[in-house]
Structure 1
Amino acid sequence: MKYIKSITLGLSFLLILFGLLGCGSESSTKKTGEAGKIEVDNSVEGDKAKKELIDKISLISEQNKDATNKVGYLESEAFITLKGDFNLIAKATGSAAIIDMNDGEHIEENIELLTKDVNALSSGEALKASKLLNSGKTIYEAVLMEDLHQVMESIDVSSYDNDLSTFINLNQDITSIDEISNEANETEDYIKDYTYKELDRLGLLIKEHENQFSSTEIDSLNSVIQNLKSSIQMQVNILQEFKAFYIDDGLEIEDKLNSAQTDFDDAANELEVLESEMGVEYLEEE
């Protein structure tokens, strides 16, 4: 009886053990099934993301072809928009393609390269790229950074590209009041037609993408734009003193110049901190 009892206990133990193993096997199968489902879902989502990327590129190609067929090139505003949309996709997908010239052939060549690169993406890579399209860092690098640094170069009083500095250097030997006044008017008009509008455009772009940036990043970007506007406005005020008729605001030109440079330096320093925190670096073309 003792042995029968032992055998019975042994059988009971084995049954419990096999039962546990069975549960474990069922759980493992369940987990494997869930993992497989996630993998399939990601694959489907990735394929969908890739198709959406290709559709975006196709739309860009159509816009370029329509413009090229009509006038041979894109209008300035249309080109800026197309360039931003294209370079954002290229940046998100890790493609070397880039549009930086308003030339139909150049644009189509890069569209072909980007299309090839996107088609080569795996489902996982396409899904990751799709998410990066809404990343503040990616948007800044692809859409804002280059244009922001270029307009800053034109606002920096110490830069060769600065319009006020160019005006002073070109007119330092001119004695005709009318001639200097005309040059001052032309320089002011150019600043208003380009620099003012470019700062406004960048401000609108920042607002358009504000949900993709943190509140701190948005505050910094807006502060940079505001300081740049303040700097260029003071430079315009200086230009007005060279006109035949102007309203004396009581400030010396040197004080105005220092104010313009201080506002610019504040913008440059804040942008440097922001880019460092975002982990991006602007490399000037040589």
Structure 2
Amino acid sequence: MTDINIVGPKNRGRSIVLTTAIAAGAVLMILPFYWLLIATTYGARDIFATPPNFLPGPAFVDNLVGLFRDTMFGRSMINSVLVSTTYTVLGLIVCTAAGYAFAKFKFRGQGLMFGALLVTLALPSQVTLVPLFQIMVSLGWLDSFQALILPSLALPFGIFLMRQTMYAIPDEMMQAARIDGANEFRVFSQIILPTVRPALSALAIFLFLAQWNDFVYPLVVLRSPESYTVPVALASLQGIGTTDYGQLLMGTMLSMLPVLILFLFLQRQFVAGILAGAVKQ
């Protein structure tokens, strides 16, 4: 005789409490984004009104036009998209190749090099800011995009992530491909890369976000408004005496769009990468 699980009042009450808590948490997470969207429709004086406004206002077009009229925000968006996309593509190539070398090859000093790589994960980026600035000055790369892209292509976290992902791939798969006549590039491109696609998607989002949101380093190396990225351009909207918060929040909302598009595009692979390590084989 099959047992039938009947949901009793106690379990039903627990389910209601859990659902209510999750719904409340979702509302708390969505509320700041909703307020940001509403705030872009008000002028600077009405944004901090008491009580706060939760319905759209009349100043959305004024803030949008003023943002592009008073600043070079459109150019900054193009700069950030160009820099972040180039950095993501090149960073994926470098981190994947380095992770493959650490995971599937044996060479002298491998353990020492990987240990040094792990040590760098503990170093804050501010430690290397001054030496990196001096290097950019000596190379003549100040106020250039290569100063933003090239120094951090070999990202320690990215190399570590790809190494750990590729380390779990059985060597027998690679050996079988080599026996069939596949060269090393074909093994890497047709066997390794499709297998680690979820990890690649997660790393792509991480690299894009890291470059898109970077503020301190671009602020140091970029000098002209024509080369500003989005975070630096948004910071330029904050004046010493007054700040047009309507335009500032409008720029903040627009800066979120490329990130949302990227996440929606890679969402399935990203979630698969998260769940891959949570499912027991």
| TM-score normalised according to structure 1 size | 0.31
RCO (CA 8 Å, sep 6+): is it higher in 1 or 2? 2
Task: Return the index of the structure with the highest Cα Rg.
Answer: 1
| TM-score normalised according to structure 2 size | 0.32
More helix by share: 1
